Structure 1
Amino acid sequence: MTPHSRSPFLLLPVEVRLNIYRHLSDCIDLHITSHGDHLRMTACTQPLCEQDPWQTGLERYEALDPPLLQALIAGHNPTSGGVVESTSLAGYEEWVRRLSSSWGSHWQCEEIALGAKGKHRIQHPFSALLHVCRVIHDEIIETLARRAVVNVTDLQTLARMAEICSELLHRKAPLYTPVSNLLPTLRKICITLVFPFKVLREMANSPEWRAWRDANNSRDGAGHYQGSSYLHTDGWRVWEQLDAVITSFPELRSLELWLDHGDADYSWIDARERHLIHYLFPLAAIPKLQVSLHLPKISPFFARPDYHFIEGGAPSPFKIRRRLRQIFLVGVFTSDWGGSCSISPLVIFRPEFPLLVHQIEFQDWPKDVVEEMERRELKNGFYTHLRELPREASVAYYLGRLRQISREVEAASSADVARDGNVKEVQ
């Protein structure tokens, strides 16, 4: 009998130990990152299921108080945005770093995983237990694989995970590295990616995409893209062949993708999401795999059915959930003074649809109600002629119209309340 086998914990029935692991693993998701050829597991403090779909980027600035928040929003033109001056905010540099995070909505997890300034690196709660003994290791791996969501924030790490998983399956012998042994039985993966906009633009203009689009007429969800001359990095090669990568995980049942780009000069409307998502269509043919996409909200006024997944266009083979796009982004300011050129990052306020949720007068309204009101007015045909106007002018026009409508609704509501009160007094 080994010393471990005499442990009181291991003398408990297996079912009891597994229940303890399940209790400990409730809502405990994890991140896997690559460091050379090695994989590291850290805790996830912002599970996708708990994230607020109305995050703007202000939550990344811890020192921001409500009065300053209102001043920031009220002080800028909601149609064109503006620059948040560094002289007005303490902790500005930290805010810039967080807004620029390639981990997207997992920016706080990045700080924890990488040990950012003022943060302590936090390993996953099971990390220490995985090294106690082989029995506990195997039992925890099974529990994690079935219950936890593994978050990945770059495609190179995903490719390395797939490579290790394939090696394990072929050799049919475990490696004594906990992260590696988790992969063959993994059930849930969430991929969070912030794309460079210039790559999306190059993709949209590529002859390969136009040929694929013309051949399928934007209706066939089964097309499998076979080649590319413009995906220069390993990450983009992984995206191009994501179905082959995902099939490396034989037990995978759920795949969620959170997508955005980080360029302050462009909206998500400019990203042409169909061009990006068509690479993923082969995933729909993988048996027992459910795929969900988390994309920014888009205005029905500017959306196009040949570029975006909207009513009137070919449907997506995947479930799509929309969220408010981050409205505080990082741009670059270049100054040339006295013959010397300097470049510095600036936080830029770039509101996205629905615009009204960013206005002070609508702060107390339910956000979904405000969005539906704005969406309804955009779809009712009143603004068709505005497509001939510059974008800024058309946005300003319908924003003013929506404010007028909101005042009418509020006045009507007040009149109803007053009328009901008079009726009660008469009774």
Structure 2
Amino acid sequence: MLDSRVHAQLDSQFMSAPAEIRRAIYEHLVTSSSIHLFLSPQGRLQVTTCLEPSTSPPLGGFFDPDEGHRPKDAGENDPTWARRLRSLWGPHWKCEEASYARDLDHISNLLSVCKKMFLDVGTMVLEGATINVTDLATLELLSRKPAEEASGPNHLWNLATYAYPLIQRLNVTLRLPLAVYEALASAQDDQPGRAAQEVGEDATAVACATWARAWPAVGQLPQLHHLHVWLDHDGSSSWSHVRERQAVGTGLMTVLRARLQGRSRAENPLPTVEVLFNLPKLHPALARPETHYVPGSPPPPFSIERRFRQSAHGEEGADGILRVKYEDDFPITRITVYLAKFWDDPDNWSPHDVTEDDIREMEDFETLLWERGDDVYAYLKDVTTDMQPNYDPAPCRRI
């Protein structure tokens, strides 16, 4: 049914064609079921196609967290590589680069043609699509329930307002400063805004306050049934310096509580939401049951998958130049698995020769070394020197 506020466009052969024909044409132009919504520097909500629909690298993709960013033939301190490594869009750095384009893609162009096409394309793109968000401000905007008094004749043409009742699958990728996680961890579970009050009116305070507002609002999205959250901090130190249980759990508990309350309302029940967190692997020398989600500790009310954290990081020097800095997080001995496979058959080896069992065995052994108090850095140097005398392992940061 055509909205009463939309011109019928009877003079247009395309817009007066049956909806099925128009949709088939739109689908030819918009081929992805995963999109990014983000704020422009001017504060306007933008949309572009997601180029990296999967944030979980395949087995054998050990080098992907670092090398995937690296331009062909780039040197160790290539500024483009360094910039990609520090992208706040995390694994979606390609999508960020695409967002710089003046002409974003077909989606944004189609949404701007007329109100009738806005409804056509907006409904097709948003219903059932995976919505990707890479900053807290956009997350809060999208999860903000439209005010009843804002239901005037033009309210529908606000993309955030239109998206609110249609969001079903939401992927949130956040690469926040370590100070933000530290401030969040200092807050009590029942006082999520306390951290923002304690750190003062600065960027950290703003991020904490937005975090505290956004997650309860996400929990009220009427059609949300899948929430995937990818988290990291923007420094080179180990992720395990983040107290996960305090920093992460506080925000997500508000979401889960909101869904439970929504299901209890018979007149307007909310669908159950599946929550999945993608977090870096924990360092055995730093992780504790009281601060981290470690095996054997009380499980969180959501699923967790762990990933390798990048070991190459982009840093800006005092001279303003971006450079690449290496600091490994756990497991620092992962290179030994690939070197062993290489020396078994140097002429025919492939990173994909590494199996899941190889990775698990290496991680279990390194965990044992840390728990025994062995010098893992010395072990790594000895092993890599034995395998390849001229090989110098990437510098490792001693925790």
Q: TM-score, normalised by structure 2?
A: 0.74
Amino acid at match of 1:250: P
> Does structure 2 retain, via aligned residues, the 8 Å contact 1:193–1:260?
yes
Q: Distance in 2 between matches of 1:303 and 1:128?
A: 48
Q: Distance in 2 between matches of 1:383 and 1:267?
A: 15
2:376 paired residue number: 394
State the Cα deviation string for residues 230-267 of structure 1 (Å, max 9, x = none).
35432221212333321453222222211101212x11
Q: Distance in 2 between matches of 1:153 and 1:63?
A: 26
Q: Distance in 2 between matches of 1:310 and 1:402?
A: 29
> Does structure 1 retain, via aligned residues, the 8 Å contact 2:139–2:214?
no
> Does structure 2 retain, via aligned residues, the 8 Å contact 1:152–1:192?
yes
Please state whether the residue corresponding to 2:325 is helix, strand or coil.
Answer: strand
2:146 paired residue number: 166
1:272 paired residue number: 243
Amino acid at match of 1:370: D
State the Cα deviation string for residues 296-328 of structure 1 (Å, max 9, x = none).
122446432222212111111111122211110
The 3 A distance-change label for structure 1 pair 132 and 36 is: closer
1:261 paired residue number: 233
User: Which aligned pairs between 1:128-277 and structure 2 lie closer than 5 A?
Assistant: 128-163=109-144, 165-167=145-147, 171=151, 174-178=155-159, 180-204=161-185, 206=186, 208-209=187-188, 225=192, 227-228=194-195, 229-230=197-198, 232=201, 233-247=205-219, 249-264=221-236, 266-277=237-248
The structure 2 residue matched to 1:107, chosen from 93, 99, 103, is 93
Whichever of the two has the greater Rg, that structure is 1
The 3 A distance-change label for structure 1 pair 368 and 244 is: same
The structure 1 residue matched to 2:324, chosen from 322, 331, 347, is 347
Q: Distance in 2 between matches of 1:291 and 1:402?
A: 40
User: Is 1:282 the counterpart of 2:254 in the alignment?
Assistant: yes
> Does structure 1 retain, via aligned residues, the 8 Å contact 2:249–2:300?
no
Provide the identity percentage: 24
2:267 paired residue number: none
The structure 2 residue matched to 1:294, chosen from 261, 268, 278, is 278
Structure with the higher helix share, 1 or 2: 1
Q: Distance in 2 between matches of 1:32 and 1:320?
A: 25
2:66 paired residue number: 57
State the Cα deviation string for residues 156-183 of structure 1 (Å, max 9, x = none).
22223344x5237852753334454233
Please state whether the residue corresponding to 1:110 is helix, strand or coil.
Answer: helix
> Does structure 1 retain, via aligned residues, the 8 Å contact 2:277–2:303?
yes
> Does structure 2 retain, via aligned residues, the 8 Å contact 1:333–1:344?
yes
2:365 paired residue number: 377
Please state whether the residue corresponding to 2:156 is helix, strand or coil.
Answer: coil
Amino acid at match of 1:31: L
The 3 A distance-change label for structure 1 pair 13 and 105 is: same
2:345 paired residue number: none
Amino acid at match of 2:87: S
The 3 A distance-change label for structure 1 pair 35 and 330 is: closer
The 3 A distance-change label for structure 1 pair 323 and 62 is: same
Q: TM-score, normalised by structure 1?
A: 0.69
1:328 paired residue number: 312
Q: Once structures 1 and 2 are overlaid, which stretch shifts more, 288-297 or 369-378?
A: 369-378
User: Is 1:358 the counterpart of 2:335 in the alignment?
Assistant: yes
State the Cα deviation string for residues 311-368 of structure 1 (Å, max 9, x = none).
111111111122211110134556xxxxxxx565431112233334334514633253
Cα deviation for residue 277 of structure 1 reads 0.9
Please state whether the residue corresponding to 2:48 is helix, strand or coil.
Answer: strand
Amino acid at match of 2:126: A
Q: Distance in 2 between matches of 1:309 and 1:99?
A: 26
Cα deviation for residue 289 of structure 1 reads 2.2
Please state whether the residue corresponding to 1:260 is helix, strand or coil.
Answer: strand
Q: Distance in 1 between matches of 2:220 and 2:42?
A: 20
> Does structure 1 retain, via aligned residues, the 8 Å contact 2:317–2:323?
yes
Q: Distance in 2 between matches of 1:15 and 1:169?
A: 34
Amino acid at match of 2:372: H
The 3 A distance-change label for structure 1 pair 171 and 345 is: same
The alignment yields a C-alpha RMSD, in angstroms, of: 3.4
How many pairs were matched up?
347
Q: Distance in 2 between matches of 1:278 and 1:50?
A: 22
Q: Distance in 1 between matches of 2:72 and 2:249?
A: 41
Cα deviation for residue 373 of structure 1 reads 0.8
Q: Distance in 2 between matches of 1:102 and 1:158?
A: 14
> Does structure 2 retain, via aligned residues, the 8 Å contact 1:33–1:152?
no
Please state whether the residue corresponding to 1:30 is helix, strand or coil.
Answer: strand
Larger RCO: 1 or 2 (CA < 8 Å, sep 6+): 1
User: Is 1:314 the counterpart of 2:298 in the alignment?
Assistant: yes
1:414 paired residue number: none
Please state whether the residue corresponding to 1:5 is helix, strand or coil.
Answer: coil
> Does structure 2 retain, via aligned residues, the 8 Å contact 1:145–1:185?
yes
Q: Distance in 2 between matches of 1:169 and 1:46?
A: 38
> Does structure 1 retain, via aligned residues, the 8 Å contact 2:174–2:232?
yes
State the Cα deviation string for residues 65-115 of structure 1 (Å, max 9, x = none).
7xx8xxxxxxxxxxxxxxx5x4xxxxx12222222221211222222212x
| Structure 1 stretches of 4+ moved >6 Å | 401-405
Please state whether the residue corresponding to 2:216 is helix, strand or coil.
Answer: helix
The structure 2 residue matched to 1:27, chosen from 33, 50, 56, is 33
> Does structure 2 retain, via aligned residues, the 8 Å contact 1:191–1:258?
yes
Q: Distance in 2 between matches of 1:190 and 1:366?
A: 29
